Amino acid sequence: MKKANYGALLLCLSFATTSNAALVVNDLLGQSINCQEQSVTNALLCGQVSGRLNTLYYSTHDAFFVRDLNQDTATTGGFLKYETAPIAGIQAGISYAGQWRIDHKNADQDEVSELQNDKDGLAEAWLGWKNHDWNLKLGQQALDLPFVGSYDWRVMPPLYRAADVQYGQKDNYIRATYIDRFKSYADDQFDRTSRYSSEIETDGMWSLGIAKSFDLNDQTLKTQAWFQSYADYANVGYIEAHLQWIKEKYQPDVGVQMMYAQDQGAAKAGKVDHQGIGVSLALNVWDQMTLKAGYNYIKPNKGSYLNGALFTPYMIYTASGPYFAQPFFTSTQDLGAGNAFMLAFEGALNEQTWIGANYSFMNLAESDDVKNLNQSEYVVYGIYNFSGGLKGWSIANFFGFATSPRSDDVFVQNRLGLKYQF
């Protein structure tokens, strides 16, 4: 396997600064104005600059159980963002993002597709308004919705051209969203496509969600419910609730979730018929360390998309979304129907160090005429946040492997990331 250009990784360290505090344009220009006074000039000069530099090295052996599919790719890049200060609750933001290879391309070597090419372009460009419990944002932006997430373990950020409005705060809100364009972490352009297909165009989606938290004396009940309609693909419903005992030993958290999906309109992905349920348990077993267990059942439906799997076009081949039971290197919703299990142990060792281990078992099948995948995945990871003169820098490593009786090969992957954020 080809070695990464670690010299380039270390070179990125030279970009470190002594602080990751917010950078205010007024301070950078050496101006002296009162940012408490609202005016167009002050909104511009009192705006903030933020950014991220992210360097990733992916190394994969027998990727996705394909013999000799060995992928090695090292890429660096990130984004630079400017946000105005609010004036009468109105605020605007714009960012530029790009990525560039730092190892040598090799025609004889398989590569990680979303990291292999240089790309850059305008990323965020939005106008927002906040007033008490109201929050409105229009334009190119990051979103954090069920199955429409900001999954961001790459160099380029996933973004949406959308109208997003929320009334309420934290665990008590109503939220409505409409999306008409999408840019994945593999692209630098906004298109009418999705992760499902780079060729099939869609009229986007709309989403409506509600969340409510209930104080039950010594327990807290947190609930949320969502309906999402993906044009000419599917309608998706999702409900989740967590009962938490904050004052009890181990602070147990019991969760339940239900999901359904049905094809609609032109049904460009074919028949979609999904019913699924899940349960979870989380325990704070030691200081800041948490033990989590999750289970999901996905009802097999012959002739439906992946035998009854959940279809959400913006998250396919990306992440498992809110599933309680999920692997790290693959995605529950992309593996079919059946039973999925997960056991995880993670938490903070101290203020700078986060560690974790994850085991998942995917007893799933993408068709009724194939054997269950029975994939076991084992992952260990750690994240270290530097302090002092290197504050703002962090390094992370995720190592894991997966096995399946379908294959004699072992799927092995390592992800090394070096990040600077301010």
Of 284, 291, 337, 330, the C-alpha closest to 311 is 337
Mean pLDDT over 175-187 rounds to: 94
Distance CA 248, CA 38 (A): 47
Structural domain boundaries of the chain?
Answer: 6-111+205-421
Mean pLDDT over 118-138 rounds to: 96
What per-residue confidence (pLDDT) applies to 25?
75
For residue 319, what pLDDT band results from cuts at 50, 70 and 90? confident
Inform me whether the pLDDT recorded for 14 exceeds 60: no
> Cα angle vertex 168, ends 164, 172, to 5°?
115
What per-residue confidence (pLDDT) applies to 347?
96
What per-residue confidence (pLDDT) applies to 149?
80
For residue 7, what pLDDT band results from cuts at 50, 70 and 90? very low
For residue 31, what pLDDT band results from cuts at 50, 70 and 90? low
Inform me whether the pLDDT recorded for 138 exceeds 70: yes
- The percentage of residues in the chain with a pLDDT greater than 90, rounded to a whole number, is 78
Which residue, chain included where needed, has tokens 């992440």?
319
Radius of gyration of the chain (CA): 22
What per-residue confidence (pLDDT) applies to 21?
56
Mean pLDDT over 244-258 rounds to: 95
Rama region for 166: left / alpha / beta (φ>0; ψ in -120 to 50; rest): beta
C-alpha distance across the termini of the chain, in Å: 34
Mean pLDDT over 247-268 rounds to: 96
For residue 5, what pLDDT band results from cuts at 50, 70 and 90? very low
Rounded to the nearest integer, the mean pLDDT of the chain is: 91
Task: Give the least confident one: 106-110, 251-255, 350-354.
Answer: 106-110
Torsion of the alpha carbons at 104, 106, 112 and 113, rounded to the nearest 10: 100
Mean pLDDT over 298-316 rounds to: 96
- In Å, what is the CA distance from 368 to each residue of 105, 261, 263, 337? 40, 19, 20, 9
Mean pLDDT over 308-337 rounds to: 93
For residue 19, what pLDDT band results from cuts at 50, 70 and 90? very low
Distance CA 404, CA 422 (A): 42
What per-residue confidence (pLDDT) applies to 20?
52
In sequence order, the β-bridge partners of residue 90 are 87, 129
Chosen CATH of 6-111+205-421 out of 3.20.20.70, 1.20.140.10, 3.40.190.10, 2.40.160.10 = 2.40.160.10
Distance CA 263, CA 339 (A): 23
Q: Which residue has the higher pLDDT, 358 or 319?
A: 358
What per-residue confidence (pLDDT) applies to 104?
82
Condensed to tens digits (0 to 9), the pLDDT of residues 89-126 reads 999 999 999 999 998 877 677 888 889 899 999 999 99
Q: Which DSSP letter does residue 41 get?
A: H
Close Cβ partners of 250 (under 8 Å, ≥ 6 residues apart) = 283, 284, 285
- In Å, what is the CA distance from 274 to each residue of 59, 102, 333, 422? 34, 42, 10, 42
Condensed to tens digits (0 to 9), the pLDDT of residues 182-209 reads 999 889 999 999 999 989 999 999 999 9
Mean pLDDT over 224-253 rounds to: 96
Mean pLDDT over 133-147 rounds to: 96
Provide the 3-class DSSP secondary structure of residue 371.
coil
pTM of the model: 0.89
Inform me whether the pLDDT recorded for 70 exceeds 70: yes
What per-residue confidence (pLDDT) applies to 43?
87
Mean pLDDT over 172-178 rounds to: 98
What per-residue confidence (pLDDT) applies to 390?
95
What per-residue confidence (pLDDT) applies to 183?
94
For 403, other C-beta atoms within 10 Å of its C-beta total 16
Inform me whether the pLDDT recorded for 37 exceeds 90: no
For residue 173, what pLDDT band results from cuts at 50, 70 and 90? very high
In sequence order, the β-bridge partners of residue 241 are 223, 256
- Asked if 149 and 131 touch (Cβ cutoff 8 Å), the reply is no
What per-residue confidence (pLDDT) applies to 93?
98
Task: Give the least confident one: 19-23, 67-71, 324-328, 330-334.
Answer: 19-23
